[in-house]
């Protein structure tokens, strides 16, 4: 028995015990069947279920068959997420020491990062650079941080992020529902803002609904060309980092207003310039 089969068998046992009450009224069984049907309808059955299936195949399956197939789906999805790139947010701030040449140190940090980051920005009006990395090995981030700190008076902070695919799955999206990241912000001037629900007393179900509503709206607007935005989820926190460019005729206030995010959810917003 391979690792995937073993994991599936273990999860099936847990599902049969932990979800017994839910399956009495059929709600949990229905949710799993609907998820598998969506995978098949999206043409992803070979990738996530291990073989080509039709919707009629899902309809004919027993509860036990649905449980086993759903566990295989979870295992394969988890494996694909874990084998992907590791996203990180890095903040590089020059310490407030007397007599330092801020611009020289900014240029030094910029050269060290080079093209290792998918984005790097200078925070307007501050002695600070922020960067987004997507790496196969976190040693890349370690080496960049170490190299920067030995070259001058820097404070370096690293924050792990969650991949878009993994986060979308946690929110209940099916494969293919959320477009992959563009990694294209065409404007040089960008607004960086954080969206946080850390201080809001919400149940997990309510939190999931709010996240899904906001994310769906922003990605729908991006798909329609109404906004230019990149979104990153902070690992283990109720917080997003978003980066957006405005159209030439817009001001920044109007640009932020297009996201339809309540003011009390936006914890900070700063203008940054691409390096």
Which pLDDT tens digit goes with each residue over 131-163?
Answer: 999 998 889 999 999 999 999 889 999 999 986
Those residues with Cβ within 8 angstroms of residue 41's Cβ, 6 or more apart along the chain or in another chain: 55
- Return d(Cα 34, Cα 165) in angstroms, integer: 19
Q: Are residues 78 and 91 in the same domain?
A: no
Q: Do 260 and 214 share a structural domain? A: yes
How many CB atoms neighbour CB 151 within 10 A? 13
CB 49 within 8 A of CB 69: yes
Are residue 169 and residue 268 in the same domain, yes or no?
yes
Q: How many helices (H) and strands (E) does the chain have?
A: 11, 8
Compute the distance between CA of residue 48 and CA of residue 76 in angstroms, rounded to an integer: 6
Number of domains in the chain: 3
> Are 210 and 195 found together in one domain?
yes
End position of a domain, from candidates 121, 136, 161: 161
What is the tens place of the pLDDT at every residue in 154-207?
999 999 998 666 666 666 665 555 555 566 788 888 999 888 776 566 676 777
Of the three residues 82, 116, 137, the one that is the final residue of a domain is: 82
Indicate if 20 and 75 belong to the same structural domain. Answer: yes
Q: Token pair of 65, please?
A: 């068959």
DSSP-assigned beta bridge partners for residue 239: 196
What average pLDDT does the segment 22-33 reach?
63
- And the tokens for 156? 């370096």
Q: In CATH, what number is assigned to the domain containing residue 119?
A: 3.30.70.1060
Last residue of a domain, one of 64, 82, 100: 82
Indicate whether 156 and 246 sit together in one domain.
no
Residue 269 has pLDDT above 70, yes or no: yes
């Amino acid at each position: 028995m391979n690792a995937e089969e073993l994991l599936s068998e273990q999860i099936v046992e847990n599902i049969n015990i932990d979800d017994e009450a839910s399956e009495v009224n059929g709600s949990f069984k229905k949710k799993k069947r609907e998820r598998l049907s969506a995978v098949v309808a999206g043409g992803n059955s070979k990738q996530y279920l291990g073989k080509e299936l039709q919707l009629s195949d899902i309809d004919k399956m027993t509860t036990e068959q649905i449980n086993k197939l759903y566990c295989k789906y979870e295992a394969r999805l988890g494996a694909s997420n874990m084998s992907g790139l590791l996203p990180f947010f890095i903040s590089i701030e020059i310490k407030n020491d007397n007599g330092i040449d801020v611009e020289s140190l900014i240029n030094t940090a910029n050269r060290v990062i080079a093209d290792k980051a998918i984005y790097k920005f200078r925070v307007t009006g501050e002695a600070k650079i922020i960067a987004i990395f997507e790496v196969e090995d976190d040693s890349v981030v370690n080496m960049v941080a170490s190299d920067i700190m030995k070259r001058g008076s820097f404070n370096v902070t690293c924050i792990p992020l969650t991949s878009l695919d993994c986060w979308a799955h946690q929110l209940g999206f099916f494969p293919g529902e959320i477009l992959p990241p563009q990694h294209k912000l065409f404007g040089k001037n960008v607004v960086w803002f954080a969206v946080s629900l850390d201080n809001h007393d919400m149940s997990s179900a309510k939190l999931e609904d709010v996240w899904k509503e906001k994310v769906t709206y922003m990605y729908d607007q991006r798909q329609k060309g109404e906004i230019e935005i990149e979104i990153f989820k902070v690992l283990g926190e109720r917080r997003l980092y978003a980066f957006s460019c405005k159209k030439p005729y817009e001001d920044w206030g109007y640009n932020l207003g297009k996201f339809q995010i309540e003011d009390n959810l936006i914890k900070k917003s700063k203008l940054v310039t691409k390096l």
